[in-house]
Amino acid sequence: MSRAQLTPELRGPENAANAEDVVAEGLWSDVWRRFKHNPIALAGFYAVCVLACMALFADFIANDKPYYLHYRGKSYFPILRSYLVGLGIGQWPEELPRIDFKKLEGATAFYPPIPYRPTNISLLEPLEPPSAKHWFGTDKLGRDVAAGMIHGSRISLSIGFVAVGIAALIGIVLGAIAGYFGSWTDLAISRFFEIMLSIPTFFLLITIAALLPPSIFLTMAIIGATSWVGMARFTRNEFLRIRNLDYVTAAVALGVSDRKVMFKHILPNALAPVIVSVVFGIGGAILVESSLSFLGIGVPAEAVTWGSILQEGSTTTFAWWLAVFPGFAIFITVLAYYLVGEGLREVLDPRLRGLR
């Protein structure tokens, strides 16, 4: 906000004296410029960035291996080393243990802020309330909840992105075909949309997820395959509107192929409402994933996700920390995406332009 106010060249096109400046500016820089004038949406955007970083650097925030280890006169960087070993480039030093670094005697080590992995079972301290040692307490196997949540953000975010990516692909292609060709094609595909709209989606989802073997990738695919209808309808309506514009008629008259007209000429102009529903869709997919893993279907049983911690909280009712923290994480994540989506909607919706 404050930076934008300091730089006069970033002022809106309303203030620009020269009309050519407005034309020269791309849609997305225009969107970003107006988006960042909305502090709430911007807060959502930053929250999304922080969450993405948390997922990306989960190994550096919560890990049972130290960043740096000095042991018997030699220095090691176990976390980095574990990446190399994982990629098949490096070897694990023979003299180092693979599992428990904390039992090494006479070693100097710097640990991440949460010195546990979600898989570290410690049966001696089950269901411990939050303390300095375990910030968010432990579950009934003594696993650190904070570590589980940090690593669980990976599952949530990747499911959100991949599922919505799949949904957007299906939705945009089907919507584009229906809207561009119109008449019978449109009628048939619209019938299909209506079927998908009347299907109790969540029930369909748990049915497929429970019938197939538990897997994160299958869960992503299933959520994607059941949540594209909204995007398809937006795309269809935009295509119906745009295909009658003069520039499309001109392109068709010039002999440009259908596919090129659809995806090179119309789609870029039809994307705005789709993008809004993509952003909302990511939040929705994260919500659905949390419900699925709460019910214990879809995601493998050994994977620690926000939903699975929450599930344990609902059965061990005295352990309030199992209910409060993971649920709050889901809430904040979903809210962040919704705020970004709402901000984008205000910026992108031509009917709302100039109202603010």
Alpha carbons 97 and 118: distance in angstroms, whole number: 19
Q: Tokens 């910030």 map to which residue?
A: 135
> Do 84 and 90 touch, CB atoms closer than 8 A?
yes
Q: Which of 27, 49, 210, 245 binds another protein (CB under 8 A)?
A: 210
The torsion angles phi and psi of 255, rounded to 5 degrees, stand at 85, 20
Please name which of 278, 279, 291 lies closest in space to residue 170, comparing C-alpha atoms. Answer: 278
Please name which of 320, 340, 3 lies closest in space to residue 11, comparing C-alpha atoms. Answer: 3
Q: C-alpha angle 232/236/240, rounded to 5°?
A: 175
Mark the segment that binds another protein (CB under 8 A) among 14-22, 25-33, 194-202, 244-252.
194-202
The reply on whether position 4 binds another protein by CB under 8 A is: no
The total number of residues written for the chain in this structure: 356
The torsion angles phi and psi of 68, rounded to 5 degrees, stand at -135, 140
Mark the segment that binds another protein (CB under 8 A) among 25-33, 76-84, 115-123, 338-346.
338-346
Smallest gap, in angstroms, from Cβ of residue 133 to another protein?
Answer: 22
Smallest gap, in angstroms, from Cβ of residue 177 to another protein?
Answer: 16
Supply the angle between the helices 320-348 and 145-181 in degrees, to the nearest 10: 30
Q: Side by side, which strands form the sheet with 68-71? A: 74-76, 68-71, 108-110
The reply on whether position 177 binds another protein by CB under 8 A is: no
The reply on whether position 184 binds another protein by CB under 8 A is: no
Please name which of 294, 4, 336 lies closest in space to residue 157, comparing C-alpha atoms. Answer: 336
Mark the segment that binds another protein (CB under 8 A) among 57-65, 88-96, 269-277, 303-311.
303-311
Q: Which of 27, 50, 197, 245 binds another protein (CB under 8 A)?
A: 197
C-alpha Rg value of the chain to the nearest Å: 25
The reply on whether position 41 binds another protein by CB under 8 A is: no
Q: Which is nearer to another protein, 111 or 325 (CB)?
A: 325
Q: Which is nearer to another protein, 112 or 179 (CB)?
A: 179
Q: Which is nearer to another protein, 63 or 219 (CB)?
A: 219
The reply on whether position 186 binds another protein by CB under 8 A is: no
Please name which of 332, 298, 350 lies closest in space to residue 30, comparing C-alpha atoms. Answer: 350
Q: Which is nearer to another protein, 23 or 211 (CB)?
A: 211
The reply on whether position 43 binds another protein by CB under 8 A is: no
Alpha carbons 285 and 213: distance in angstroms, whole number: 20
Smallest gap, in angstroms, from Cβ of residue 327 to another protein?
Answer: 3
Q: Which is nearer to another protein, 42 or 85 (CB)?
A: 42
Alpha carbons 208 and 211: distance in angstroms, whole number: 5
Q: Which is nearer to another protein, 2 or 315 (CB)?
A: 315
Element (H, E) at 5: helix 2-6
The reply on whether position 200 binds another protein by CB under 8 A is: yes
Q: Which two tokens stand for residue 103?
A: 């039992």
Q: Which is nearer to another protein, 213 or 255 (CB)?
A: 213
Q: Which is nearer to another protein, 247 or 331 (CB)?
A: 331
Q: Which of 65, 143, 233, 243 binds another protein (CB under 8 A)?
A: 233
CA 347 to chain centre: 21
Smallest gap, in angstroms, from Cβ of residue 202 to another protein?
Answer: 3
Footprint of another protein on this chain (CB under 8 A)?
A: 191-192, 194-195, 197-204, 206-208, 210-213, 233, 237, 283, 287, 290-291, 294-295, 297, 307, 310-311, 313-314, 317-318, 320, 323-324, 326-328, 330-331, 334-335, 338-339, 342
